[in-house]
Amino acid sequence: MLNTEKYLKLGPEVREGTALVALESTVISHGLPYPENLVTANALEEVVRSKGATPATIALLDGKIRVGLGPPELKRLATEQNVAKVSRRDLPVVLARKGLGATTVAATMYAASLANIQVFGTGGLGGVHRGATSTFDISADLTELSRTPVIVVCAGAKSILDLALTLEYLETQGVPVIGYKTDELPAFYTSHSGLKLEAWADSAAEIARIARIKWDLGLPGGIVVTVPPPPEADLPPQEIEKAIGRALAAAEQAGVKGKAVTPFLLNAVRLETEGKSLETNVALLKNNVSVAAEIALALLDEGPAEMPEELI
């Protein structure tokens, strides 16, 4: 028996709600600038509600994993300095300190699964960094996907990462990557990465079916669903690649390492593209979260998972 109750606090909307959709908080505290981060955090919850699903933004506060935040907590995450970036390994440390922590994809997935939430909408996934063969910098998001049964709806990953190696890693870890109405891996700001996906789906119901079968079979871990940015926000790949090249050079020069790498690069790309990338970022977040809500509703129609005894 796990001792999770002590550390988990569900908000009122989450306790009552069905078709729950987890939302992360690192994107609020470390991924977007103020005030766009606060406006977007609230807007994402509204998108989920407008679909008839229930939003559950996740963060750490006062020694608890909070699933479902109110406006005051969202505001703190968006405005306070020194909010901890919490991945899987940081969960017990930040809970023990009773600190304010923003959860990454990995930590949000884990928290969501503790709260029995199977769907999570976000912007970009962490992945294998360029140069990982010498730095070993591979996001804990990828190993989390191999263990924790949550569907992560995202726009792929930014090409600050090595996207081809990221796909290889996910294959090794047994994680399905499903293109939503596309057979090309989106590269976050742009729908084009040049990398073909071997699986795609044309509806939320199809994705819910795949997830149900995966879990009925006792296959552990999650599923990545990649949604291209909406057409009006889709940026030309060459333009983004230039900005990313400059961001990577700046990171190298500044000697940035470890968990600081991703936030540094996100900020550098934003500065390089001057606002344009920010508009795309917000548009794709809303789009992804809307697809996540549809999948959460479709999963309800699939009924509860049936794990065969012999596989548990």
Q: Tell me which residues touch ligand PSU (CB under 6 A).
A: 24, 26-27, 31, 87, 104-105, 123-124, 126, 139-141, 158, 188, 259, 262, 266
When the beta carbons of 154 and 207 are compared against ligand PSU, the nearer one is: 154
Binding flag, residue 137, Mn ion (CB under 5 A): yes
Considering the complex, what minimum distance in angstroms separates the CB of residue 62 from ligand PSU? 21
Considering the complex, what minimum distance in angstroms separates the CB of residue 207 from ligand PSU? 21
Point out the catalytic residue in the list 85, 158, 214, 259: 158
266 binds, among ligand PSU, Mn ion, none (CB under 5 to 8 A by kind): ligand PSU
Considering the complex, what minimum distance in angstroms separates the CB of residue 172 from Mn ion? 18
123 binds, among Mn ion, ligand PSU, none (CB under 5 to 8 A by kind): ligand PSU
Query: Do the beta carbons of residue 182 and residue 272 sit within 8 Å?
Result: no
Is residue 24 annotated as a catalytic residue, yes or no?
yes
When the beta carbons of 26 and 273 are compared against ligand PSU, the nearer one is: 26
When the beta carbons of 76 and 143 are compared against ligand PSU, the nearer one is: 143
Binding flag, residue 294, Mn ion (CB under 5 A): no
When the beta carbons of 54 and 262 are compared against ligand PSU, the nearer one is: 262
Binding flag, residue 272, Mn ion (CB under 5 A): no
Distance, in Å, from the CA atom of 85 to the CA atom of 29, rounded to the nearest integer, reads 8
105 binds, among Mn ion, ligand PSU, none (CB under 5 to 8 A by kind): ligand PSU
Measure the CA dihedral 104/108/110/115, to 10°: 170
When the beta carbons of 42 and 146 are compared against Mn ion, the nearer one is: 146
Region near Mn ion per CB under 5 A, out of 18-26, 130-138, 264-272, 299-307: 130-138
Distance, in Å, from the CA atom of 294 to the CA atom of 181, rounded to the nearest integer, reads 14
140 binds, among ligand PSU, Mn ion, none (CB under 5 to 8 A by kind): ligand PSU
Considering the complex, what minimum distance in angstroms separates the CB of residue 238 from Mn ion? 26
Is residue 242 annotated as a catalytic residue, yes or no?
no
Binding flag, residue 45, Mn ion (CB under 5 A): no
Give catalytic residue positions.
24, 158
Residues that bind Mn ion (CB under 5 A): 137
